[in-house]
Amino acid sequence: MSGRLDDDVLVSARGLEVHFPIRGSGVRRRQVGAVRAVDGVDLDIRRGETLGLVGESGCGKSTLGNALLRLVEPTGGRVEFDGTDVTALGRRQLRALRRRAGMVFQDPFASLDPRRTVAQTVAEPLEVHGLRPGRRERAARVGELLELVGLDPAVSGRYPHEFSGGQRQRVGIARALAGEPDFLVCDEAIASLDVSVQAQVLNLLRRLQRQLGLTLLFISHDLSAVRHISDRIAVMYLGRIVELGPAAAVGREPQMPYTQALLSAVPVPHPSVERSRERVVLTGDVPSPAAVPSGCRFRTRCPYVFEPCDDVDPALQPAGAPGQLAACHLHGVVGREVPEGEKAGTVPAE
């Protein structure tokens, strides 16, 4: 929680929660538990910045991205987009939000309707929002958008299956840009592409971000890609942001043991360094988001676990470089004390 109240924040989440109910098998299907995919996230995304969101599979990154745009309904907390409360929007206002905030999806093979041409796909936001009425104007705009993402406008009559993964992802980006959004969520946008194509799409996103002044939430499990593109990085673990800070600082001097482990898992492209460097290797598995450990949710795997970790749920606090925040008691015990009755979760790994 930055505590700053600067007006250049475009998207802000406070105590955001997305809990998916687990229902029993009985006839009444009573709720017997919840998967806490996003569990109390505070996050400010500044206008014009690229915020990288990293974390393991299943830590809630994508759910968070979806919840910010209300593509998944949050079960708690609030989200503000440019000052308006997204969680309280009605149908019509939500549609207006959809124009201003776009999303690029992970799998470019699944995210384009196979029965619609590229032109139909890219023109959909224009039709939905009544932008560029008139066939000819729309076609011209589609051409513009395709050129913007590096595709030949002549391909607009073709179907998605006629394209490679990278080309499809460009179509997906063109669709997301059609409504001239301010905010773009890239949900693992390069994860399912070939490595060589990843770099191209990454550079395309960076160019577009600068050219159009976009605010970007770049969700990925690929730390090096995130470091390459982001201004700031947020690290997520079990539904919570555990470290947040300038990309360079988080990349160089991570303040949270989990981030340190993540970073040390990235190979160094230099054989002798790679061989000699010290690695932080985590033991154990990620606890189930249906049974989150009490106190610090990382304590079951943390190599530095000590006294307060199972009693106090750590809050983000300044640590390391200016603007860098970490949720870790190693920087001082700050956070919410866990009442005795709530103590649940897994036993710390030995």
Partner 1 sequence: MSVQPTPGPPPGGTPPAETPSETPAETPSEAPGGSPGPAGGRTATLRPARPRWRETLRLLAGNPTAAVAAVLLLLIVLVAVFDEPLAPQGANEIDVAGRLQPPGLEHPFGTDDLGRDVLSRIILGASVSLRVGFLAVLIALVVGSTIGLLAGFYGRWVDDVLMRVMDMLFAFPAVLLAIAVLAVRGPGSGNTALAIAVVYVPIFARVTRASVLGVREEVYVRASRSVGAGDLRLLTRHVLPNAAPPIIVQTSISLAFAVLAEAALSFLGLGTQPPNPSWGLMLAEGRGYIELAWWIAFFPGMAIFLTVLCFNLLGDGLRDVLDPRQRTLMGGGGR
Question: Given the complex with partner 1, which of 111 and 324 has the nearer CB atom?
Answer: 111
Q: Which residues contact 136 (CB under 8 A, 6 or more apart)?
A: none
Buried b (16+ CB within 10 A) or exposed e, 248-266: ebbbeebbbbbbbbbbbee
Question: Given the complex with partner 1, which of 158 and 228 has the nearer CB atom?
Answer: 158
- Nearest distance from residue 33's CB to partner 1, in Å? 20
- Nearest distance from residue 269's CB to partner 1, in Å? 22
What beta strand segments (E) does 5-147 contain? 9-23, 31-46, 50-54, 76-81, 84-85, 101-104
Q: Tell me how crowded residue 184 is: count the other CB atoms within 10 A of its CB.
A: 23
Question: Given the complex with partner 1, which of 157 and 213 has the nearer CB atom?
Answer: 157
Question: Given the complex with partner 1, which of 191 and 286 has the nearer CB atom?
Answer: 191
Task: Sheet with 84-85: list strands edge to edge.
Answer: 31-46, 9-23, 76-81, 84-85
What is the dihedral sign for C-alpha 296, 60, 221, 48?
Answer: negative
Question: Given the complex with partner 1, which of 105 and 298 has the nearer CB atom?
Answer: 105
- Nearest distance from residue 45's CB to partner 1, in Å? 17
- Nearest distance from residue 69's CB to partner 1, in Å? 7
CA distance linking residue 247 with residue 82, whole number of Å: 24
CA distance linking residue 253 with residue 91, whole number of Å: 44
Question: Given the complex with partner 1, which of 214 and 328 has the nearer CB atom?
Answer: 214
CA distance linking residue 64 with residue 285, whole number of Å: 22
- Nearest distance from residue 144's CB to partner 1, in Å? 7
Binding interface with partner 1 (CB under 8 A): 69, 71, 94-95, 98-99, 102-103, 105-107, 109-117, 119, 124-125, 128-129, 144, 147-164, 166-167, 170, 172, 175-176, 178-179, 197, 200-201, 203-204, 207, 211
- Nearest distance from residue 329's CB to partner 1, in Å? 38
